[in-house]
Amino acid sequence: METRILRPEEIETAAEILRRGGLLGIPTETVYGLGADGLNPAAVAAVFAAKGRPQDNPLILHIPGADWLERYCADIPPQARRLAERFWPGPLTIILRRRPGVVPDVVTAGLDTVGMRCPGHPAARAVIAAAGVPVAAPSGNTSGRPSPTCAAHMLEDMDGKIDGILDGGPCAVGVESTIVDLTLDPPRLLRPGGVSLEQLEEVLGPVAVDPAVRRRMTGGERPRAPGMKYRHYAPRAPVTVVRGTPSATAEYIRRCAGAGDGVICFHEFAQDYPGRVVRDLGPAGDKAEQARRVFAALRSFDALPVPRIWSQCPDEEELGLAVCNRLNKAAGFCVVEL
């Protein structure tokens, strides 16, 4: 199969791939997604096959606007409307009860809930609207690898496996959408992302944080949303995350990183690691920039013979929780707390 790179104006060509049951790389403001017609079980099954994704890992349905919610969801609470008004289009996925007999089991991994998102990238909304179907789309990487934040990253993993990639430029947010479950009381944060916990609480009041945000899920636990259970976002070399103040973590990595190791660090410390392969995560105080850079940094080491990777980590305030979550998962929760 030849994987075509489509220009942003080739919306109708991209939509036709989805309508005929093909697989399409779709740009969003978070990461590139691997999209299929979310109402076509065979097309959705092909997404799992292309990624090598476990079948118990549910997908998100992407729609062009909140007016599509009633088609696929039942018992929509007022909280969902308030979140959509505040954050859609944007990097937020809302877990709701699915409408029986409409959304295929392969999308939800057999759960009675479904994640819904209206992406912020105009090309993503345009192709979904043109196709006329909701698009089931996980991140467009081989399962377990760092998520793609540009078309070239996605092509590395999916060349020859999918029909096309709609090139919408680099992703503005850089980490996947926040996922909040509104079927629980209080609402529960299942995955931190581009909408922070603090922003959710401004709309919803108290929001619980699922334990899987900060620790590894056990084999018997069933994920309620993508990215909760399995090793994810990981380069080939083992990663160790070092948490603490920027100066303390920088000093620890200076002492422990061996010659030729990879280092992901804040901009202020990028010159402190001679003999190591350094990737600049951005300034210590700029968590939005860290979110944009983290996956590209992790992915870049796969082209290099680094034996180990060490990473600084921001605190958990605002977008820091999402960056910490991705780094911790990339490390398989191998974390040094200072």
Q: Give buried/exposed letters for 197-221 (b at 16+ CB in 10 A, else e).
A: bebbeebbeebeebebbeebeeeee
For residue 181, list its beta bridge partners. 95, 188
Res 230 pLDDT > 60: no
Q: Could you read off the pLDDT of 260-304 as tens digits, one per residue?
A: 999 999 999 999 999 999 999 999 999 999 999 999 999 999 999
Q: CA 134 to CA 138: how far, in whole Å?
A: 13
Angle subtended by helix axes 11-19 and 122-131, to nearest 10: 50
Res 233 pLDDT > 90: no
Q: Is the peptide bond before 226 cis (omega within 30 degrees of 0)?
A: no
- Which region among 113-127, 221-235, 237-251, 318-332 has the lowest average model confidence (pLDDT)? 221-235
Closest to 148 (Cα-Cα) out of 120, 177, 175: 175
Q: Could you read off the pLDDT of 185-201 as tens digits, one per residue?
A: 999 999 999 999 999 99
Binned at pLDDT 50, 70 and 90, residue 210 comes out as very high
> pTM value?
0.94
**Are 234 and 145 spatial neighbours (Cβ–Cβ below 8 Å)?**
yes
For residue 240, list its beta bridge partners. 310
Binned at pLDDT 50, 70 and 90, residue 138 comes out as very high
Structure token digits, residue 11:
């919306």
Average pLDDT over the chain reads 94
Beta strands in 70-168 (DSSP E): 73-74, 92-98, 113-117, 135-136, 164-166
For residue 165, list its beta bridge partners. 5, 25
Q: CA 165 to CA 74: how far, in whole Å?
A: 32
Q: Could you read off the pLDDT of 48-105 as tens digits, one per residue?
A: 999 998 877 899 999 999 999 999 999 999 999 999 999 999 999 999 999 989 999 9
- Which pLDDT score, from 0 to 100, does residue 28 have? 97
Residue with tokens 């299929």: 36
Kindly give, in sequence order, each residue whose CB lies less than 8 Å from that of residue 15, ignoring residues fewer than 6 positions away: 127, 130, 131, 132
Over residues 256-260, mean pLDDT: 96
Structure token digits, residue 174:
């850089």
Q: Could you read off the pLDDT of 7-21 as tens digits, one per residue?
A: 999 999 999 999 999
For residue 166, list its beta bridge partners. 6
Res 226 pLDDT > 80: no
